[in-house]
Chain A
Amino acid sequence: MSHVGSGKAASSKEQTGLRYPSNGKTIYHRPLNRTKTAELSQAAFAYLFSEMVIYAQRRVAGIQELEKRLNLQGHPIGLKLLDLLLLREPPRSQTRPLTIIALLHFIKINVWTHLFGRQADRLEKSSNPDTPDEYMIVDNEPLVNAYISVPREMSQLNCAAFVAGIIEGVCDGAMFPARVTAHTVGGKEEGEMWPGKTVFLVKFQPEVLEREALLGKG
């Protein structure tokens, strides 16, 4: 039976109804690492991101819903980035992270460096004994918020919810299901060093902690 199955999979490409250019300009012909270090203008990102936020804003009723929507748009990116970034690692470190700490380091270092050109600023575990499932990734100055000014009446909004969605996608893809939210913690006072400082609160599902405890790595 397995032969039949694999035979089907092999011929499935011919069965798609998609047309491809005759000169081979398809995603299957391009090296996956071609754009690994390519750059575009930050302006291009800022324009697209602001249109994305404005569009989302028109279709939601409140700040929470808006953040949820931005989160959902980041999620598929995280799922794909996990595979892409692991694939680009040298063979010995290509396995997906197997512990919470390894996963968070992967996010803080690999994901951040790839997307934003630097590591995240800090990684913390919740000191509250009631919430051992919570971890925090701190970014003093999220790149995605560089050109976003939040109106006073929406001061709860943090558009880095998009990045929270990316992180959530990475966690889910690595089999560490979690909820991730973005919170502004920078002070509003004059002379505040990081007014846009953002905490990404990563709250893992109970089964993740159970598994860590069983494996004795928790």
Chain B
Amino acid sequence: MASSKASRLGEEVWKTRMDKVNAELVVLTYGTIVAQLCKDFDSDYIEVNKQLDKMGYNIGLRLIDDYLAKSNTMRRCSNFRETAEMIARVGFKIFLNITPTVTNWTSDGKQFSLIFDENPFADFVELPDDGRAQDELWYSNILCGVLRGALEMVQMQVEAHFVSDVLRGNDTTEMRITLIRYIDDELPPEDD
């Protein structure tokens, strides 16, 4: 699907097929989740990142069905570049009403970046001034897990992590996504 067509699709699904709620309800709920994790793990931010990624993974496993049903795209992307465009222009659009920029491709077409000009989760957020959070916590790390889980369900094993975040004082928020492999359809277990 051409990227302009993907944008139109994302826009249309967002406008006509998605139930909406006030953004601040979602933002504040996410905030309380991260805050609770920081408390439970005694500000071990590395562990908080892991937990967020895990939660995101669980979400991704279920979200992909929702994505396929709502976007009604029952055709496989022809390559990873198309996948990237669909994630940005349809996936992020219909769930979070944002369209991150796809960029910084490696020449083998297996690794790209999503740049988030807007990140609704980061509204109202300032990381703790404890000399560690800005170096260790990836506040929106749940999004990495969502991508990993959702793509796994459509036979793509990926690795995703943030490389910069405005909450850490960087000028951009950037996630790096790498295609590890396409997962072969596994044979169903032998029926003994």
- Interface residues of A, Cβ cutoff 8 Å to B: 16-23, 25-27, 30, 34-45, 47-49, 51-52, 54-55, 59, 73-74, 76-77, 80-81, 114-117, 143
Q: Do A18 and B126 have beta carbons less than 8 Å apart?
A: yes
Query: Residues of A contacting B191 with CB < 8 Å?
Result: none
Complex formed: what's the CA distance from A74 to B14 in Å? 28
A143 with B55: in contact, given A16-B129, A21-B166 (CB under 8 Å)?
no
List of A residues within 8 angstroms of B24 by Cβ: 35-36, 38, 114-115
Contacts of A81 in B (CB 8 A): 28
Interface contact B134-A45, CB-CB below 8 Å: no
User: How many whole Å from B53's CB to the nearest CB in chain A?
Assistant: 12
5 contacts between A and B (CB under 8 A): A21-B171, A35-B120, A40-B95, A48-B33, A73-B36
CB distance from B15 to the nearest CB of A (A): 11
Q: Would you call B25 and A115 a contact (CB within 8 A)?
A: yes
Contacts of A59 in B (CB 8 A): 40
Residue of A nearest to B20 (CB): A39
Task: Give Cα A80–Cα B125 distance, bound, in whole angstroms.
Answer: 13
We find that the number of chain B residues with CB closer than 8 angstroms to chain A is 46
Residues of B within 8 A of A117 (CB): 21-22
Q: Which of B19, B35, B63, B97: most chain A CB closer than 10 A? A: B19
| B120-136 interface code vs A (CB 8 A; 1 in, 0 out) | 10011111010100100
Partner of B95, one of A44, A49, A51: A44
The A/B interface has a contact count, at CB < 8 Å, of 128
Task: Closest B residue to A36 by CB, please name it.
Answer: B24
For B25, B28, B124, the residue with the greatest tally of chain A CB atoms inside 10 Å of its CB is B25
What is the chain A residue whose CB lies nearest that of B62? A47
Question: Which residues of chain B have C-beta atoms less than 8 A from A43's C-beta?
Answer: 18-19, 63, 66, 95
- Please tell me if the beta carbons of B21 and A42 are within 8 angstroms of each other in the complex: yes
B30 contacts across to A, CB distance below 8 A:
48
Given A41-B18, A41-B97, A76-B35, A47–B63 Cβ distance below 8 Å? yes
Chain B residues within 8 Å of A54, by CB:
58
- Closest A residue to B120 by beta carbon equals A40
A142 to chain B, nearest CB (A): 12
**Contact residues, B62-106 vs A (CB, 8 A):** 62-63, 66, 94-97
